[in-house]
């Protein structure tokens, strides 16, 4: 049977690659268990299916990272750790945003690996958004700001794509197809977060009470005045 399987598979490939007028065909179907079945005749009625020992299994895979992704892995690791981000999340954002092309420019003017808009780049102190180190430094800092504000990766990604104003306006992921697709794609590539360690963020600022400077702490960022983020 193993020889028959290999023969049928070889014949199927040959017919696919080199079509001819020959009547020989290979029909491919799936049984009730989802197993791929090869046959020399149509499988249009109940058919006895045989297991082929040693036959290769069919599996699906997620999209692999581009070859040049490894060029930026050290920067991804460094700045992910600095901002307490999952490296998987940062890689996924870069993959969806630019495909790891440091020279990428969107029609709207977003620049570089993490596609920073000009105003966002300036606010983050990024001088050259096409420099991988500056871009990843700024992009991860911005992603951390959004995570601190919204408390979830889903909302942070929605804000990264559509802007914080849109997330605030709809009090959640905006009903834009582009943004929904973006959140789904990045989330899928980044993987689940259920096993990731939980991170507590505290905000520290000072108030003057009766001529005394008193430190204050909270899990929500203060609405005004300078503050410090404590991990």
Q: Do 121 and 222 contact (CB within 8 A), yes or no?
A: no
Q: Do 156 and 150 contact (CB within 8 A), yes or no?
A: yes
Q: Measure the CA–CA gap between 143 and 148, rounded to whole angstroms.
A: 9
Q: Measure the CA–CA gap between 89 and 80, rounded to whole angstroms.
A: 9
Q: Which of 88, 97, 133, 210 is catalytic?
A: 97
Give the pair of three-digit tokens for residue 200.
Answer: 């507590």
Where do we find the tokens 């901002």? 83
- Is 228 in the active site? no
85: CB partners within 8 A, 6+ apart: 79, 140, 143, 144, 147
SS3 content of the chain, % helix, strand, coil (to 5): 45, 15, 45
Show which residues are catalytic: 97
């Amino acid at each position: 049977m193993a020889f028959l399987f290999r023969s049928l598979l070889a014949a199927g490939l040959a017919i696919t690659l080199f079509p001819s007028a020959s009547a020989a065909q290979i029909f491919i179907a799936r049984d009730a268990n989802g197993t791929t079945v090869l046959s020399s005749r149509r499988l249009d009625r109940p058919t006895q299916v045989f297991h082929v020992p040693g036959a290769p299994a069919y599996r699906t895979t997620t999209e692999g990272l581009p070859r040049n992704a490894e060029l930026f892995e050290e920067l991804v690791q460094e700045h992910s750790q600095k901002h307490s981000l999952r490296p998987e999340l940062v890689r996924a954002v870069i993959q969806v945003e630019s495909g790891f092309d440091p020279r990428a420019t969107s029609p709207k003017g977003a620049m570089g690996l993490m596609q920073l808009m000009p105003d966002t780049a300036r606010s983050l102190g990024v001088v050259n958004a096409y420099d991988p180190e500056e871009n990843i430094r700024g992009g991860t800092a911005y992603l951390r700001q959004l995570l601190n504000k919204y408390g979830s990766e889903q909302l942070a990604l929605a804000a990264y794509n559509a802007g914080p104003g849109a997330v605030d306006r709809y009090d959640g992921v905006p009903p834009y197809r582009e943004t929904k697709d973006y959140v789904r794609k990045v989330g899928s590539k980044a993987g689940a977060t259920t096993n990731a360690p939980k991170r507590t963020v505290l905000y520290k600022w000072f108030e003057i009470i009766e001529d005394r400077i008193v430190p204050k702490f909270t899990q929500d960022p203060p609405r005004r005045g300078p503050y410090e983020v404590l991990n």
